[in-house]
């Protein structure tokens, strides 16, 4: 049986200069932008009381992003906001001027003209960028890594983007998109990973993701939960994870929740950095084969890494069966609980939580995390069935059974 690996955070703290990216003020600005879209609605927060009782915690709450803007994933929050911030800067306007009605108007097209937005994606981010570019009458070029599914390719192409599947892994697709953007007139790369010299747009993407966290915090408060005691959040390059960790660290400065970062074991670059313990970033190369396509990223976002090394508590390297377990649990819930359709990259938080609580081999981690009947646990299901064939293979046919590697 392929086991989950874990590491506590023993890294030295940095100057923490990037935490302010996820300030309440910045996230308020992003949420106000998103609320202007006619497609906007608050996505559900499923309260899984039956599951909580089953595994021995006080509460389990799952933010269900399968409803986001009709795109079946949260990623559009970051891409759309970053594109609007970029356009506002080019036009020397404030983001508050970038309303949906203006951005989709003939007046805007006349004022701004056209840009080409380049990106690399496993599917969800690229679809969000393509969707936003389509609404804004802009161009999008999207590169996908080898192994990407036709269904995800087709969803991006439907938005009018120029999309390719390359014989490259995700991180090399990022480099290709950056190169092409630099060689294209009015070309700009919109990527949620960051590197030295490319930090502004990734920080805006993270702020855009903050809408999801802000909604969740408000929903928990409405449900009578003062604050979550534990947050499980998944990481690819770490932008989402750092967005969540950064937002809740700012929101609960004096008593933050415990943050548990979940990665696919084939691409666990952040976990490897935690194991090293020096604060230096680590890189994972190769094909990064995992069912968690959205997490198949081997090079961490420098901004995200800095936030996580300062504020995350534990780092998990998770086998594929654990994600599949989470998908099945959410698809066939305890009686009375809400069903959540969660894809491979969306369900790993729940899969990890249940495994920690139910599997005896993780008892030590359970105790270190202080997970017990008083715990209020928040997870983020970041995508729905974005690959329907694989979703059914896992939830209907039992592919990737618990404890078995395929």
Question: How many C-alpha atoms does 405 have within 13 Å on its Cβ side?
Answer: 11
Residue 403 confidence (pLDDT): 59
Q: Domain 77-191 is of which CATH architecture?
A: 3-Layer(aba) Sandwich (3.40)
**What residue spans define the domains of the chain?**
5-74+201-395, 77-191
The Cα–Cα gap between 24 and 7 comes to: 29
Percent of the chain with pLDDT over 70: 99
- Which neighbouring-strand residues pair with 62? 46, 379
User: pLDDT for 315-330, tens place per residue?
Assistant: 999 999 999 999 999 9
Q: What is the mean pLDDT of the chain?
A: 97
Range 5-74+201-395 has CATH code 1.10.3720.10? no
DSSP conformation letters of 212-254: HHHHHHHHHHHTT-S--SEEEEE-SSSHHHHHHHHHHHHHTTT
Ramachandran category for residue 138: left, alpha or beta (phi over 0 → left; psi -120 to 50 → alpha): beta
* CB atoms near residue 30 (< 10 Å): 28
The residue-averaged pLDDT of 387-401 equals 97
5-74+201-395 and 77-191 have identical folds:
yes
pLDDT band at 402 (very low <50, low <70, confident <90, very high): confident
Percent of the chain with pLDDT over 90: 98
Beta strand spans in 65-154 (E): 116-120, 139-144
User: pLDDT for 24-66, tens place per residue?
Assistant: 999 999 999 999 999 999 999 999 999 999 999 999 999 999 9
Residue 277 confidence (pLDDT): 98
Residue 405 confidence (pLDDT): 41
Residue 19 confidence (pLDDT): 98
The Cα–Cα gap between 105 and 135 comes to: 10
Residue 404 confidence (pLDDT): 46
Judge whether residue 397 has pLDDT over 90: yes
The Cα–Cα gap between 110 and 116 comes to: 16
The Cα–Cα gap between 302 and 238 comes to: 9
Residue 23 confidence (pLDDT): 98
- The residues annotated as belonging to the active site are 75, 122
User: pLDDT for 302-316, tens place per residue?
Assistant: 999 999 999 999 999
pTM of the model: 0.96
User: pLDDT for 153-171, tens place per residue?
Assistant: 999 999 999 999 999 999 9
Q: Are the C-beta atoms of residues 60 and 347 closer than 8 Å to each other? A: no
């Amino acid at each position: 049986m392929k086991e989950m690996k874990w590491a506590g955070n023993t890294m030295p703290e940095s100057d923490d200069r990037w935490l302010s990216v996820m300030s309440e003020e910045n996230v308020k600005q992003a949420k106000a932008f998103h609320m202007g879209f006619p497609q906007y609605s608050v996505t559900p927060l499923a309260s899984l009381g039956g599951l909580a009782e089953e595994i021995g915690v006080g509460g389990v709450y799952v933010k269900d992003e399968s409803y986001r803007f009709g795109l079946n994933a949260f990623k559009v929050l970051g891409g759309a906001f970053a594109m609007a911030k970029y356009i506002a800067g080019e036009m020397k306007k404030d983001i508050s001027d970038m309303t949906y009605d203006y951005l989709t108007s003939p007046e805007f097209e006349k004022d701004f003209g056209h840009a080409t937005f380049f990106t690399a994606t496993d599917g969800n981010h690229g679809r969000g960028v393509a969707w936003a570019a389509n609404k804004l009458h802009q161009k999008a070029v999207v590169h996908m890594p080898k192994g990407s599914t036709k269904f995800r390719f087709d969803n991006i192409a439907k938005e009018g983007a120029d999309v390719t599947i390359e014989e490259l892994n995700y991180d090399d697709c990022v480099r290709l998109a950056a190169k092409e953007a630099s060689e294209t007139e009015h070309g700009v790369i919109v990527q949620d990973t960051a590197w030295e010299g490319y930090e502004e747009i990734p920080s805006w993407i993270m702020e855009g993701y903050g809408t999801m966290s802000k909604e969740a915090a408000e929903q928990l408060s409405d449900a009578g939960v003062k604050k979550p005691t534990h947050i499980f959040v998944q990481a690819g390059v770490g932008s989402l994870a750092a967005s969540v960790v950064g937002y809740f660290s700012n929101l609960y400065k004096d008593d933050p929740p415990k943050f548990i970062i979940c990665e696919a074991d084939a691409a666990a670059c952040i976990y490897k950095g935690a194991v090293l313990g020096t604060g230096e970033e680590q890189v994972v190369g190769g094909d990064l084969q995992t069912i968690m396509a959205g997490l198949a990223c081997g090079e961490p976002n420098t901004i995200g890494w800095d936030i996580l090394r300062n504020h995350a508590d534990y780092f998990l390297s998770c086998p594929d069966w654990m994600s599949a377990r989470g998908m099945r649990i959410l698809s066939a819930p305890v009686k009375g609980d809400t069903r959540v359709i969660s894809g491979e990259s969306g369900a790993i938080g729940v899969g990890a939580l249940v495994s920690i609580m139910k599997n005896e081999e993780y008892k030590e981690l359970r105790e270190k995390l202080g997970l017990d009947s008083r715990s209020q646990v928040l997870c983020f299901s970041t995508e729905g069935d974005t690959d329907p064939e694989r979703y059914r293979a896992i939830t209907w046919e039992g592919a990737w059974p618990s404890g078995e590697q395929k």
